[in-house]
Amino acid sequence: MISSYRDESTTRRLSTGAAIAGLGLLASWLYVRAKSRRVEREHPPAGRFITVDGVKLHYLERGQGPALVLLHGNGVDATDWEHSGLLDAAAEHYRVIAFDRPGFGYSERPRSTVWTPDRQARLLHHALQELKVESAIVVGHSWGALVALGLGLQIPHFVRGLVLVSGYYYPSVRLDVMVGAPPAVPLVGDVLRYTVAPLAGRLIWPAAVGRAFAPMPVSERFRARSPWMGLRPAQLRANAADASLMVPATMSLARRYGQLKVPVQILSGTQDGVCGCAHNAERLHAALRHSELSVTPGVGHMLHYAEPGKVLGAIDAIAAQVGAPAHLPSAREIARAAAGESGV
């Protein structure tokens, strides 16, 4: 009888615990859904949409002149180029197209495809063809630099040159990958990203952003953006999937770097704690025949915020090298573009 009583007591405790956990998941799901809907109302799509290969992509387009394509990193979307001031400053002299990569911002990411850098590159190339872009200079920041390399390796006749900013080019042990990958796991990840993962992400957001900008303070323009755009369930899946692909993707790309024929400008900060300069930028420069390396002391991963003029200078260096008109925006132009976006 004592054993039976204990079994019943254990069963009741387990049932109570399961009920509490279920209510907690329901409450977090309702909260996440409300926050996601609210942030989308407050930040509706600012650009245009194009459907290519069955995938709807969102993109921003500004300016006229030689085509310039901007590819953002993980955790953000195309508006990151606006907040840094680069998009509007470059639009003074280029036709600038900044995509939300698949799954980010307002772009779709079908689950039937493994979105490697090569696959993302092919999709974006098809989109650019639909937009009547015959060739372009391509800029990639962080994970976006892998997609830029995929374009340069697969479609060299289309890419006039590459500007790679704070990129991850060679495999290494990444603790952040193991921490960030679970939302991409089928079933379990689906539950996580609609319930507890966005809440956990919100808690660690200040530390993650601080690490990206370190040793410099977080940009006020970046700080003003809502973190919930990047914590919506669909984008969390894209973040996690791209994070889990980082090591195998760089292993695949690194074997082909020697085949790259287009001119490359590589930019990095000496204090980049996300993609170490020596392991990535300096090593890639040594592997490429047609590259130039610019290393900025005292700057971390978000170099396009800290030194937008250097990124614009690298773009213009490529343009001059391949015969496109080169224009170096003044410091006043860069500051005006950034101030116009931030509203200050």
- pLDDT tens figures, 272-311: 999 999 999 999 999 998 999 999 999 999 999 999 999 9
Residues 9 and 62 reside in one and the same domain: no
41 versus 338: the higher-pLDDT residue is 41
Q: Report how many domains make up the chain.
A: 2
Domain range enclosing 136: 46-342
CA distance linking residue 237 with residue 114, whole number of Å: 12
Indicate if 160 and 215 belong to the same structural domain.
Answer: yes
The answer to whether 246 touches 173, Cβ cutoff 8 Å, is no
Per-residue pLDDT tens over the stretch 22-57: 777 788 888 889 999 999 999 999 999 999 999 999
CATH number at 311 reads 3.40.50.1820
How do residues 242-262 score in pLDDT, each as one tens digit? 999 999 999 999 999 999 999
Residues 35, 72 share a domain? no
23 lies in the same domain as 145? no
Q: Which of 102, 104, 122 is nearest to 112 (CA)?
A: 102
CA distance 46 to 25: 33
Same domain, 33 and 58: no
The pLDDT score that the predictor gives to residue 331 is 45
DSSP, residue by residue, 112-149: TS---HHHHHHHHHHHHHHTT---EEEEEETHHHHHHH
Strand-pair partners of 69: 97, 138
Residue with tokens 């307002």: 106
Question: Is 243 exposed, middle or buried (CB count within 10 Å of its CB: 0-12, 13-18, 19+)?
Answer: buried
* 340 vs 88, higher pLDDT: 88
Q: What percent of the chain has pLDDT over 70?
A: 87
Residues 27 and 114 in one domain: no
Nearest C-alpha neighbor of 211 from the set 292, 302, 128, 306: 302
- Note whether 270 and 277 are within 8 A (CB): yes
| Residues 128 and 5 both lie in one domain | no
58 has which bridge partners?
A: 49
Rounded Cα gap, residues 77 and 10, in angstroms? 48
Does one domain contain both 4 and 140?
Answer: no
Q: Strand pairing of 136-141 and 67-71?
A: parallel
